[in-house]
Amino acid sequence: MGALMRSIDWTRTPVGAPGTWPQSLRTAVSILLESRFPMYIAWGPQLVQFYNDGYRPVLGATKHPAAMGHSAQSTFAESWHIIGPMFEGVRQGTAVGSVDWMLPLDRNGYLEECYFTYSYSPIRDESGGVGGVLVTLTETTGRVLGERRLRTLRDLAARVGAVKREQDAWREAAAALETNGFDIPFALLYRQGDAGPGLELVATTGWGQDTATPAALFGTDAASAAWPFAEATEAQGPRFVPDVQARFGPLPGGRWPEAPRTAWLFPITRAGAEHPYGFLVAGVSARRAPDDDYRGFLGLVADHIATALGNARAYEEEKKRAEALAELDRAKTAFFSNVSHEFRTPLTLMLGPIEDGLADARQPLPPAQRERQELVRRNGLRLQKLVNTLLDFARLEAGRARVSFVPTDLSALTVDLASNFDSAATAAGLTLRVDCPAIPEPVYVDPSLWEKVVLNLLSNAFKFTFTGEIRLALKWLGEQVELTVQDTGIGIPEEELPRVFERFHRVEGARGRSHEGTGIGLALVQELVHLHGGRVTVTSTLGQGSTFHVLLPTGSAHLPQKPGAKEPALPSTGIGPGAFLAELSQWSGPEPVAPRSTAHADTRILVVDDNADMRVYLTRLLEPRWSVEAVNEGGAALAAALARPPDLILSDVMMPGVNGLQLVQALRTDERTRAIPIILLSARAGEEATIAGLDSGADDYLVKPFSANELIARVNAQLTVARLRQEALLAERAHVAEAERLLEESRRATRLREETLAVVSHDLRSPLTAIRTATELLQRLPPESEATARARKQADAIRRSVDRMNRLIEDLLDLASIDTGTLAIEVRPQPVEELLRDARELFEPQAAEKGLGLVVEQEPGLTLWCDRERLLQALGNLLSNALKFTPAGGSLLLRVGSEPGTDDLRFTVADTGPGIPASVQPHLFDRYWHASQRRRDGHGLGLSITKGIVESHGGHVWVESEQGRGTAFHITLPREQRPRA
């Protein structure tokens, strides 16, 4: 600013020339110029202005530099009604100041909203009066705008954060934007349909009741034409609209009297969707520039709205899903109830006649038929137990469970129920201990429901206990009675304990006597205990066992009705201990079946199933045709298969421990069992289950129930395929062995050829050396007579033939080395210029002798890592070839340059000869091959050796030729190589 002050003619201003300035003004101006803080001086009655570099941004592009030396009133005419009285007050000796004071300034071509923290102070002159006004200030516009916009965002987040419906989110967002009419003079919120096209204006801000609104803002079609919605959707970003007044006329200015001139349009985007939720159109304050900060603020507004809409839609969708699931649950419960009732009639008609037949003493069944009928009865009772359990659950879910509380000798009832398990415990190798002493008074329970609690807990203990004991105890606690069922089984992982009583929940990977079960036994126990006003808990240590505690209240105060009162009875679903014991018998069941001798004992089938009845049934089906061995779980099956691989494995999928899929994977990873055909049996139907079974490596997948004929047909088909596969494998191995024998013979022949070639080459070189020495001696004879001259001429012909024979021997040796990969290559950095010089010196005389020109072109300064002699050999072969087939008067070209786009060098040897037919070119580098149109005076090895040398350098060689237009051979070599190890 000092330079600007010096450039002004102050004599034309009210303060006059600087030499006439009072000392007080000089001192103030000096301080102003030295300060880095924004400072401003208005001097004298006319308030002539001085300011420093720090103050310059306050004036902007409109007022600087014209403000220097001019009147404050003329500079700040647009806001003089505000600051004029302040200047006047300071001239009267009263200082003023304020924090974050708003002052509208026209400093960038429009009236701008500006904020300052300032101080106006009087400057005393030599007379003691006020000579001028000193203004010190800091512009706080950015901070004030930032805080105001942050408040808007916080208010927006608070309003929309808890909304649960989409329409509420739009409405609350508009209400939040309405509070900031400074930054958002008007806003339009459009909702877009899920399918894309179709917009609905759902909320507006800025329009009062008496404010007219252009129709184009509200009609869907007109709005789509007026605003760049399509561009914003395609770009997935905001679009600036610079001419809103031209489009729509004056629009609401919010808290400012001026109408907005521009607007921003933001898509309210949703992640992963092609179309946005909708759009935000926000007017830009006429008193602010639509800069990056403004755009960023409106972008955050759009993001907040998008988040709120996403949350609202997610809540609505979750609510709909919950309602749908509840309805589905109700429908499922009704279905279970109806189906269970429908099942009971045919089950009764099945089990009744079977039990009659088994009990018929007058016409007893034959042993084989009795065994079949007992199998049907056991599984019928199991099915009846499952149906009754589902029916119990359906009643509980529907709130239709009926409990008939009667005073019961709980100790005697519990002992009676537990005694049914004595024989099952003995068969399973377990000890059952029952400790149920008499208790002081009867307990109000529903005996049929208590029976289900005790039987389910004992059944669960048997299923997961393999050694040790099961202990059942009943203990009187005064206000409560406690039933404890403790086992020494596998235990339950700690993280699974909270979910033990969830219906359909099963502990993944838990080892049990069977994988069968619905996963609702313990859930039913919990529900039945709750009906009695009690609670059930479990404690467990993994690997040591589990303890279930059932606490029931004593007395009658907790009963929902007076003791003895009866509700309408529902049909009983109790079937007693028989069904539980029948199921236990299948878990322990018969021992695994050892292989039995049959007419087809040479074909063995391994049957794997944890259900004893299913093992017996499958064994009976298969035994008449094949030798059968049956085991009860996957681990035993794997051990049996590895010890003595069977011809086929028939395995259940759902088993404890190692299941069917894991068994298949284990068998497929072992070389001894990889080829064994495997058929999986499963109750899981459907395409996904079948694909999972086949993907695991099984050869076939059979869904229960299946017919005996279908099972036998599939087993027979897999055995046939396996036999054919084995025969094909043996044939393939024979072919491979024969191929390996022929390959070894070829290798021996190659080695023999190389050895023979080396010996023959050595034997040939010895006489050739003697012959060459003799010809050299003859050539030294003085040409004194005609006979001597003739002898020398003959000796020269002999020498040329010897040289040709030596080259042939060298070529044959090189070719053998190329074949075996032993071609000696000594790589060193070589100046390309020297390589070309040697080639020129060798071939230029030969070319001249035949009347040909030899042109050599190269890029200067090239270096190549290569074997110098081998590369000269390759180039020599190509040049010799060109010399041979180029007629007199033609020319040869040897060129070297960089290969475009790579770090390689390209060597080119070209001639003006007759060219090579296209049909011939693919064979040029084959050994011993001659083109029919070329002379056959060569041995046909030169180009083949050239290819071997080039490839030994990591390069490539090829030919380009047209008949009648000459031939060009190209070699590309990597510029940098390193010596071979």
Q: What is the DSSP string of 216-246?
A: GGTSHHHHHHHS-HHHHHHHTS-EEE--HHH
Q: Where are the alpha helices (DSSP H) in 360-421?
A: 367-398, 410-419
DSSP result, 107-138? SSSSEEEEEEEEEEEEEE-TTSSEEEEEEEEE
Which band of pLDDT confidence, cut at 50, 70 and 90, is reported for residue 933?
A: very low
Mean pLDDT of 425-433: 85
Q: Comparing 175 with 586, which gets the higher pLDDT? A: 175
Write down the pLDDT at residue 597. Answer: 46
**pLDDT of 978 over the 60 cut:** no
Write down the pLDDT at residue 79. Answer: 92
In the three-class reduction of DSSP (H, G, I as helix; E, B as strand; rest coil), residue 888 is classed as: coil
* pLDDT tens column, 282-310: 999 999 999 999 999 999 999 999 999 88
**What gap in Å lies between CA 510 and CA 347, rounded to an integer?**
32
**pLDDT of 589 over the 60 cut:** no
Q: What domains lie within the chain, and their CATH numbers?
A: 2-139 (3.30.450.20), 145-321 (3.30.450.40), 401-585 (3.30.565.10), 590-706 (3.40.50.2300), 723-822 (1.10.287), 825-974 (3.30.565.10)
Write down the pLDDT at residue 52. Answer: 93
Angle CA(117)–CA(119)–CA(125) in degrees, nearest 5? Answer: 160
Q: Comparing 846 with 213, which gets the higher pLDDT? A: 846
**pLDDT of 815 over the 70 cut:** no
**What gap in Å lies between CA 827 and CA 978, rounded to an integer?**
7
Mean pLDDT of 350-363: 79
Write down the pLDDT at residue 601. Answer: 57
What pTM value is reported for the model?
0.44
Q: Which of 134-148, 494-508, 708-722 has the lowest mean pLDDT?
A: 494-508
Q: Are 891 and 943 in contact (CB under 8 A)?
A: no
**pLDDT of 593 over the 50 cut:** no
**pLDDT of 574 over the 70 cut:** no
Tokens linked to 494: 């700690």
Mean pLDDT of 507-535: 77
Write down the pLDDT at residue 611. Answer: 82
Mean pLDDT of 183-207: 82
Write down the pLDDT at residue 768. Answer: 63
Q: Which of 37-51, 110-124, 571-585, 719-733 has the lowest mean pLDDT?
A: 571-585
* pLDDT tens column, 474-506: 999 989 999 999 999 888 888 888 888 887 777
Instruction: Please name the residue that has the structure tokens 């709980």.
Output: 410
* pLDDT tens column, 322-356: 888 878 877 776 776 666 666 666 777 777 788 77
- DSSP percent split of the chain into helix, strand, coil, nearest 5: 50, 20, 35
Write down the pLDDT at residue 910. Answer: 94
Write down the pLDDT at residue 570. Answer: 44
Backbone angles phi, psi at 404, to 5 degrees: -105, 95
Mean pLDDT of 515-539: 83
Mean pLDDT of 234-252: 85
**What gap in Å lies between CA 99 and CA 102, rounded to an integer?**
9
Mean pLDDT of 539-565: 82
Write down the pLDDT at residue 757. Answer: 61
Q: Are 579 and 384 in contact (CB under 8 A)?
A: yes
**pLDDT of 100 over the 90 cut:** yes
Q: Are 408 and 454 in contact (CB under 8 A)?
A: no
**pLDDT of 433 over the 60 cut:** yes
Write down the pLDDT at residue 571. Answer: 46
845-850, Cβ contacts within 8 angstroms, sequence gap of 24 or more:
846/883, 847/883, 847/892, 850/883, 850/886, 850/888
Write down the pLDDT at residue 803. Answer: 58
Mean pLDDT of 150-160: 92
**pLDDT of 808 over the 90 cut:** no
**Burial status of residue 46 (CB atoms within 10 A of its CB: 0-12, 13-18, 19 or more):** middle
Report the first-to-last Cα separation within the chain, whole angstroms: 74
**What gap in Å lies between CA 825 and CA 829, rounded to an integer?**
13
**What gap in Å lies between CA 357 and CA 498, rounded to an integer?**
47
Mean pLDDT of the chain: 83
* pLDDT tens column, 646-703: 999 999 988 877 888 999 999 999 999 999 999 999 877 777 888 888 888 999 998 8
Q: Quote the percentage of the chain above a pLDDT of 70.
A: 81
Cβ neighbours for 643, distance < 8 A, ≥ 6 positions apart? none
In the three-class reduction of DSSP (H, G, I as helix; E, B as strand; rest coil), residue 208 is classed as: coil
Tokens linked to 680: 């999986």
Q: Quote the percentage of the chain above a pLDDT of 90.
A: 36
